[in-house]
Every structure is written in structure tokens, then in C-alpha cells.
Structure 1
């Protein structure tokens, strides 16, 4: 991979850029202008979701850019209260309407379980929702299907009853939370891992001040965020970082002119757990009110 627009070939033969741009709602920023800037900077793969409330401005920014729709790779996700066969179809059509598009490149189930242990029929609900996505795919409205926050046992259930295999799975992935078991499962099943929150997140982001990462930044003459993104890239994981300024957007892209050594990669992989956001698909019950990043 030599640039953000170099692509992986997915298990269905389609191409997916190796680096994306996250559009989770910037509460203190102008989302429309941020996305306009990202497009001008060169980003073409954009990740959104119904719960982010950025689909409308993403569609507007793309339309205003004058760049043909087919030059973009657009991905969105349906939320947990949009699961079920009919619900999923309605949610998808609402997403298309907000984006002002007639198809999506990739559509994901956002979370595998609705209400944690209280929802014992999650396996049936996942398969029912997936059938809706498969039907939309058959209609030519979705080019690829995927998952977000699905762990191996969630994917085992899906793979046991699906006609179309997921092409990607989004997980919280970064140094200090590399989820090696889940990533190994994905790679073994030819499902491309994708990283949300690849730079860590929160006011007390321990990655930003980590002494070892600071040492690597000095060694490779890069910033800590660039080290974190390069780490993921070398592991075959697609990062989808957010950025609110052009300087940060360009800095995040500047990770293709160096390599992290094998020894340093192992040390980063085996770092103690750091900056885990605390959202787990089996033990955390997200709601629209909580409005999590993923």
C-alpha cells in the first residue's frame, strides 16, 4: 500500500481503499465543512452510520464536490433499533435518502446484539437482518455487506446461515487494544478487519502520552498518531480515523513513507490494555441516547 486510495481485494472480488475517513459527529465542529475539507484533501472512502447523523451532510458534500459518485467508496451502518427484516429495509432506504444516492458500496450491521443478555434471540435477529441486506444486495442497491463490533461467536452464527459472506468487520483496534483473537479469526476467514477509534479516544487518551509510543515517534521521526495508524496498516487492518482540520487530515495520510520494524510491531501488539473505550457487544448495551462512536 503506497497511498490512502490503494485497495484491498475483498472476498467478493470488489476493491476497498486501505484507509478511510470517519464521520462520527464532531460536536464542536462544522461537519459539512469538515467533510468538504476531507474531500479536497484527497479522501474518497467515507464511513458513516444512521446514528452519527452525518449521512445528510456527507451526501451534500459529495454532491457539491462535482466529483463523480463512482470515485467515492461510501459505507454506512444500521443501528440496533433498525434491526429485523422490514426495519433494516426501511433503515437502508432512509440512509440512501439522506445521502442522496441510489446505492451504497458497503452496508454494515452496527452491533450484533440489541440489549445484551436480555435479548436471547439475537442470533435469529442477526440472521433476519442479514437476509434483508442480502435481498438489497440482490436488487443492486448494496455492493458489499459487512459487520461492525461482531466477535468470532457472532460471526460464526452469521456464517452458519448466510448466503453472502461479510467482507469486513469493524472493531475498536489500536495499540493497547489490538484484539488479536478477533483479528486472527477475521483474517483466517478472509474478512478484512477495519479499525474504529484507531488513535484512541477521550479526554484522557493514554495513547497520546504513552512513553513507548513517544519513543517510537522520535525513532521514526513521526507523530504518535502516525505510528498508531502505520501499526494498523502493517497488520492488514483498515484505519478510519477522524480529523477536524486539514493539517490533521494530511498528517494522518502521511504514513506511507516508512515501516515499523518487526520487533517494534511485536512490542506494540503486546502492549498492556490501554485506552479501551469500554464498549463490548456482549456486556455493553448501547442506546441512541448514549450515541457511541461505534
Structure 2
């Protein structure tokens, strides 16, 4: 049984709740209520980003929750187009201001390339952005630092000049799309993999093969997909805007058998029609 208070331990010893509440694609006018509901239901790990345009609302929900700051884990991300040292420091200040927080638990470089030029090479810029991440980490205003959407090359590029290795790589990850090259490399380097879109943006929910495995556990497909990530030592970040879905996603009172995990890990892409990050896999 997985609980919202269960944690992984990052390479620097910082504890991170095993399930996060993602806010990607949640519009600003819905984000405050969605996060407030998640916190009320027991989630303690909230994930946002400057580019999502909802940091202020996420921050309002956090600050109005009445939950002690030290009992929360808050992640945000440096915009993907920011590839300079000074620019990264400035964007971090904007994020803290938006959230109205004194520190983040985790700060990530959102992608190795700007979103309007996916796959372009920004090795030098990523090393500069990482230098800023190290400065932020050393200031104590981010308890952990990492990256998102980085493949093996991108990680190796940062390693070349890093004084501190990334502690997290947040990637697209779900049943049938587990990015084994990146995941294996990350784990070999003591980097926790986080799964955004663990339900393939809903694409898994009507997959008959996944449903067949799910039926063994009297669970929902969403619950199975989330538990699948956790049993692979990957941290899922499900999102929902309806309180009932948010609650359902957290009810993980079962364990997937080793036999079924083998089936799920060998399954072909369970949502092939969904958009995939072409630089990964």
C-alpha cells in the first residue's frame, strides 16, 4: 500500500513524497481550487512551473492551506528558453515571488531546449543554467535541484562541468513508454526519475490490455498506472481538476504482483496516439 506520506530519498538526503500533484495544463482560474483540494486530501508534494502560468494561484492555495511549510514539498521549473546564468537567477526570483515562498524544495531546468525549437542543441546554455542552479542550491533557497526532459547526452553535458549532480530528471513516463535508456542512466547516477503524464494525458484510460491487468486488483486504470510508476522506483505526478479524481488517484491500497509488473514493463506503448518527446525514448 502506497500512502501520500511515503517518501523517496534524494541523493542529498532530502525526502520527497512518492506521489506528487501535477499542475501542467491546469489553467490559472482552476489551479487554486485544484491544489487546495489536493492538499485537503492529503497530498504534500505540489509540482508547478513558471511557464504553466499558474504559480501565483498554486502559491495562494499553499499559503492559505494552514499546512506548515516544512510539511510541504514544492517544485517549480526554470523556463526552457532561459539558458544564461543571470537569466536563470532572475527567473528563480520571479518564481519565488509568484509562489510567495521563501524557498523551493526542488527546482528544475524545464527542458534542454526551448519549446519552440525541440531538439536543438544548447549544451553551453545548459551548463550556464546549471551553474545558476548550483548557486541557488548553495544559497539554501532550493533544497534540491534537477532537470526535466533531459536525455543521456544532456545529462552527460551537465556532468562535464557540474560541481553538484542533478538529483531529479522529470520525464514523460507511463506504461509502455518508460524511456529505458534515460531511466537506467539516471538510476546509475543516483538521479530520481519523476514521471509527468503517468496516465499518458488520459491515453491509458481506455487501453484494454492495461484494463485487463487492472481488473485483478479491483482498482482504476489511473490507480494502476500510478502504482506501476512507484513500484519501478519512479515518482508519478498525476494531475486532476476534479476533487473525486484527485482522491481516487491517491487510493493505492494494493501492490502489483511481480508477474503483472513484468507484463506491464514489457507492454508496447499503451497510448501510441499521444504526443511523444521525439528526443527521448
Measured against the shorter chain, the TM-score band is over 0.9
Q: CA RMSD in A?
A: 1.7
What's the counterpart of residue 39 of structure 1?
39
Cα distance change of structure 1 residues 223 and 29 upon mapping to structure 2, 3 Å threshold: farther
Give ranges in structure 1 of 5+ residues lacking alignment: 284-294
Q: Does 1:170 align with 2:170?
A: yes
Partners in 1 of 2:71 and 2:264 — Cα distance?
35
Give ranges in structure 2 of 5+ residues lacking alignment: none
What's the counterpart of residue 200 of structure 1?
200
The structure 2 residue matched to 1:264, chosen from 257, 260, 263, is 260
Do 2:110 and 2:147's aligned partners in 1 also have CA atoms closer than 8 Å? yes
Partners in 2 of 1:83 and 1:135 — Cα distance?
15
What's the counterpart of residue 214 of structure 2?
217
Do 2:48 and 2:75's aligned partners in 1 also have CA atoms closer than 8 Å? yes
User: 1:15-34 alignment to 2 at 5 Å?
Assistant: 15-27=15-27, 30-34=30-34
Do 1:76 and 1:106's aligned partners in 2 also have CA atoms closer than 8 Å? yes
Runs of 4+ with >4 A deviation: none
Q: Mean Cα displacement is larger for which, 65-74 or 45-54? A: 65-74
SS in 1 for 2:81: helix
What's the counterpart of residue 236 of structure 2?
239
Aligned residues: 277
Cα distance change of structure 1 residues 258 and 280 upon mapping to structure 2, 3 Å threshold: same
State the TM-score, normalizing by the size of structure 2. 0.93
Question: Offset of 1:199 from its aligned partner?
Answer: 0.6
Cα distance change of structure 1 residues 148 and 140 upon mapping to structure 2, 3 Å threshold: same
Partners in 2 of 1:28 and 1:36 — Cα distance?
13
User: 1:3-22 alignment to 2 at 5 Å?
Assistant: 3-22=3-22
Do 1:8 and 1:18's aligned partners in 2 also have CA atoms closer than 8 Å? yes
User: 1:1-294 alignment to 2 at 5 Å?
Assistant: 2-27=2-27, 30-114=30-114, 115-116=117-118, 119-120=120-121, 122-201=122-201, 205=203, 207-255=204-252, 257-275=253-271, 277-280=274-277, 282=279
Question: Offset of 1:282 from its aligned partner?
Answer: 3.6
After superposition, the C-alpha distances for 1:59-89 in whole angstroms (9 at most, x for unaligned) are: 1111111222111100000112222111101
Question: Offset of 1:28 from its aligned partner?
Answer: 9.7
Do 1:112 and 1:281's aligned partners in 2 also have CA atoms closer than 8 Å? no
Partners in 2 of 1:174 and 1:279 — Cα distance?
11
Do 1:109 and 1:148's aligned partners in 2 also have CA atoms closer than 8 Å? yes
